Amino acid sequence: MRKLLFQSLFRRPFTEEAPSPDDAALAELASELGHAARRRLGRSLSIREIDAGSCNGCELEIHALSNAYYDVERFGLRFVASPRHADVLMVTKNMREALERTYHATPDPKWVIAIGDCARDGGCFAGSYAVVGGVSEVVPVDLHIPGCPPTPTAMLRGLLALLERVDTGAVSP
């Protein structure tokens, strides 16, 4: 036992090294997004995430935005627990009634972002009797962020692109 404990002090962990993302670019992107939200809304951007049926891959990446590494709250972006407090709905897939009710409970102005390939057209589950189709089959979608799953950085880029389109009037509240 003592030998094992001693070895574990010096042995490298078995897990692979994580790729090192560009910290400066990430901070710049999130900060720009925070500024864009304040310019457009006069306050932080509040996001309600709806996982209306998925493999959870996209959801894990969305959760990563709030972890200690990405920590998007420091830039004024908040994930909220109720659609009544939200500006943006991030949807990962279809569950028709829950999605419709959440959409109608979210006050205007609001925007819908469909995250991942499944949210666009059902992805690898398309054609299943249990899948209605893309999110746009149920509620209007303002932006789709592709990927299986998309990275947290791609989601931040997507949110920024959405606010820029709102600023130029290309997307209406």
Which residue ranges make up the site for ligand SF4 (CB under 6 A)?
A: 54-55, 57-58, 92, 116-118, 123-124, 148-149
Q: Which is nearer to ligand SF4, 114 or 163 (CB)?
A: 114
Q: Which is nearer to ligand SF4, 41 or 154 (CB)?
A: 154
Which residue minimizes CB distance to ligand SF4? 57
Strands (E), 51-136: 77-79, 88-91, 111-115
Apex CA 18: angle with CA 118 and CA 9, to 5°?
135
Q: Which two tokens stand for residue 5?
A: 């404990």
On the question of a cis peptide bond just before residue 152, with omega within 30 degrees of 0, the verdict is: no
- Quote the distance between the C-alpha of residue 141 and its chain's center: 14
CB of 51 to ligand SF4, least distance (A): 8
CB of 123 to ligand SF4, least distance (A): 4
Q: Which is nearer to ligand SF4, 54 or 153 (CB)?
A: 54
CB of 120 to ligand SF4, least distance (A): 8
CB of 27 to ligand SF4, least distance (A): 26
- Asked if 117 and 145 count as a contact pair (C-beta separation under 8 A), the reply is no
CB of 150 to ligand SF4, least distance (A): 8
Q: Which is nearer to ligand SF4, 159 or 166 (CB)?
A: 159
Spatial distance between the Cα atoms of 159 and 145, rounded to a whole number of angstroms:
9
Strands (E), 23-137: 45-50, 77-79, 88-91, 111-115
Establish how many alpha carbons lie within 13 A of residue 92's alpha carbon, considering only the half-sphere containing its beta carbon: 21
Q: Which is nearer to ligand SF4, 58 or 89 (CB)?
A: 58
